[in-house]
Structure 1
Amino acid sequence: MSSELISFMKVILISMTSLLYCYFIAPKLPKGKFRLISFLPVFSLFLVLPLYVSSALLSSSFAFFITWLTTFKLVLFSFNLGPLAFDSKVSFTLFASIAFLPTRIKHNKTAKYVQNHDDLGNDPHPKLPLSLPAKVVIFAMLVMGKRHLEIMDPIANLYVNCATLYFYLDMTMSLSNVFVRSRFGVEVRQPFDEPYLATSLQNFWGRRWNRSVSETLHTAVYQPVRYEIGVPRWMAVVIVFVVSGLMHELLLYYIIRVIPTWEVTWFFVVHGLCVAVEIELKRALGKRWRIHSAVSRPLTIAFFVATVHWLFFPPLLRIKHFPSG
């Protein structure tokens, strides 16, 4: 326990020192490739930091917050884009909080190009809001209920597992929002937008599920590939999902420390292809593309749950014991 605590403190110290370097070196370099090159040593450190801790929870947290999100935010910051690109100088504490936490703040440097709302799935939808305390209660009920129900209908078990994952992520990100908003007084955006009400896969991934990651990938991957390289829209969408799949595969490796089976990557490839097809069909059919929400919502969630348990959960379920170090 003491060695794990020491490792945890070392990771925090290295992370903060690395970010301090980025904070002070960035204003001295022009935006673009020179600033990006100056950040490469930091990216290398962030890649190995999760390996310094053996706890599955700590490894996954460092991998998601630092190796993935912070790295992508710094890549965007190299070109004066993304959540770290403020119009004026900000304190290091705010800079570090936005860099390390999955918090989306409201300011005008999030993208180089105007976002295509059709590509993001900006469909009108009703609201069924849940407060943070309500989500905490539901999460606790799901965890305790699953522990006491050894025999559960397989279909019900699928939905319970997915709901537990959603409420855990939503709570974690909402708490980071609470901290940043109360500590710095900045406006923040909600991390999720009721994904259980999604009317399509495009709507689910583009507007409802983990919008911090969605926005980051859209700015860091989709826009350069689509507008700088000039690949077709459908291919840019698939590339975004492939990148997301590889990052999830890396995150999974930090947790279980075994050779990847690539099932997680294929999960995102399947969804990327489906979203690309959906976008192109909507463009081709226009107003003729009409599916009532009473049909589209349950179909969307059922497809998501089925593919999660087909490709996403099995690598975790096959591991009965996490490595101890």
Structure 2
Amino acid sequence: MMLPLIIEIVKHHAEGEITNFIKVWSLVFASLSYCFFLSKVVPGGVSRFLAIIPVLILNLILPLSLHTMHLGGSSAFFLVWLANFKLIMLAFGKGPLSDPSISLPKFAAFACLPIKSHQITDPGKDPAKRGLKSFWNYLAKALLICLFVKMYDYTDLVHPKLTWVLYSLHIYCGLEIILATFGGLAKALIGIELEPQFDEPYLSASLQEFWGRRWNIMVSKILRPTVYEPVLKCASRITGRRWAPLPAMVGSFMVSGLMHELIFYYLGRRLPTGELTAFFMLHGVCLAAEVAAKKLIGGRWRPPRLITGPLTIGFVMATAFWLFFPEFLRCDAVHKALAEYAAVEAFVKDVTYAFASKSAHNNTPSVPLQ
């Protein structure tokens, strides 16, 4: 009953949302241009950080102008998390933005998009593993999303937990397509080599593999220099180098949880409950325990992937059902996403009908007046 109403609201506000989206990203480019030229004249350190603080605050405010899941949610992720973390690194002369040879367009792309130049970071990487995945990979995932959307019409006939499984697959496929779309645009416009943001996480055989090498790779690489390495350095003085990675992992997951709370606030405009932070803290502690166990065993025994794979994915799904999806549903993300799909479909139909009507009108022979 609620979905048709949401569709009408989305259709009514679509034009204003697109206008706001253009305004937001025009301001983003202007603020990033300021940071680009600022980094040329102000040395890295406290002075540069103080000069960048207004941009960090602006990036927190701008997503509040957007209300859709796809435009607003992706903009919040790009600005509040990616851009702000990279700008903090820039303030202290670190990260990809501190490269003195980088151009302004590449500076803007690296700042707020989930991309990373292999020419700068991974010159020796296997070329077969560079760039986006195949077109057919993304097409298959787009078709899966279409299938999920149709299956949602019958969710009242199945167990709610099965519906949540569909949600998890939908989130994964949707995120990969959104990130690949923005990455593909950056590649087409400024010619940079990209890397996939996901590496088939359902094949993970451990939490370390899932979070470190397969799920949302760019976030892991941002958390490493901004959270993991500083905590590692401080913890090394207390625990020694051997065990310092454990609190560094937990600290990284805590920050990730807080950032997810913030992103979900932009999606639903609801105050956080702490469940997302609890989800990531739980995984941080479990990952630290896993790494500690590996250190103690020292590689003398390793269980087969046939066992650890299902256990890993099962643990991720079970904890997501417990702590993650309730928050996802609380911000009404599913209904909003479906309404946006329907609004886009209606827009395409209207445009197609308008062009067809105009073509038919132009092809109608005129009747001479008698």
What TM-score, normalized to structure 2?
0.76
Work out which of the residue numbers 257, 261, 272 in structure 1 matches 2:284: 272
- Post-superposition shift, 1:220? 1.0
Q: Residue 174 in 1 paired to residue 180 in 2?
A: yes
Alpha-carbon distance change, 63 to 14 in structure 1, aligned in 2, over 3 angstroms: same
- Post-superposition shift, 1:106? 1.4
Percent identical residues: 38
> Residue 353 of structure 2 corresponds to which residue in structure 1?
none
What TM-score, normalized to structure 1?
0.86
Work out which of the residue numbers 165, 170, 190 in structure 2 matches 1:164: 170
> Residue 105 of structure 1 corresponds to which residue in structure 2?
117
Q: Residue 19 in 1 paired to residue 32 in 2?
A: yes
> Residue 188 of structure 1 corresponds to which residue in structure 2?
194
Structure with larger Rg: 2
Q: Which one-letter code corresponds to 2:298 in the other structure?
A: G
Q: Residue 61 in 1 paired to residue 79 in 2?
A: no
> Residue 339 of structure 2 corresponds to which residue in structure 1?
none
CA contact (8 A) 1:82 1:109 kept: no
Q: Residue 216 in 1 paired to residue 222 in 2?
A: yes
- Post-superposition shift, 1:48? 1.3
Deviations 1:245-276 (CA, angstroms, capped at 9, x unpaired): 00000011111112211111100000000001
CA contact (8 A) 1:8 1:53 kept: yes
Q: Counterpart of 2:97 in 1: which secondary structure?
A: coil
Structure 2 CA distance, aligned partners of 1:142 and 1:292? 33
Q: Counterpart of 1:150 in 2: which secondary structure?
A: helix
> Residue 256 of structure 1 corresponds to which residue in structure 2?
268
> Residue 227 of structure 1 corresponds to which residue in structure 2?
233
Structure 2 CA distance, aligned partners of 1:144 and 1:135? 14
CA contact (8 A) 1:81 1:109 kept: no
Alpha-carbon distance change, 302 to 158 in structure 1, aligned in 2, over 3 angstroms: farther
Structure 2 unpaired stretches of 5+: 1-12, 123-132, 239-243, 337-370
Q: CA RMSD in A?
A: 2.2
- Post-superposition shift, 1:149? 4.4
> Residue 125 of structure 1 corresponds to which residue in structure 2?
none
Q: Bigger shift: 13-22 or 154-163?
A: 154-163
Structure 2 CA distance, aligned partners of 1:289 and 1:266? 31
Structure 1 CA distance, aligned partners of 2:69 and 2:145? 20
> Residue 283 of structure 1 corresponds to which residue in structure 2?
295
Q: Bigger shift: 303-312 or 140-149?
A: 140-149
CA contact (8 A) 1:63 1:251 kept: yes
Structure 2 CA distance, aligned partners of 1:132 and 1:93? 26
Q: Which one-letter code corresponds to 2:141 in the other structure?
A: K
Work out which of the residue numbers 312, 320, 324 in structure 2 matches 1:300: 312
> Residue 124 of structure 1 corresponds to which residue in structure 2?
none
CA contact (8 A) 1:136 1:171 kept: yes
When the two structures are aligned, how many residues end up with a matched partner? 304
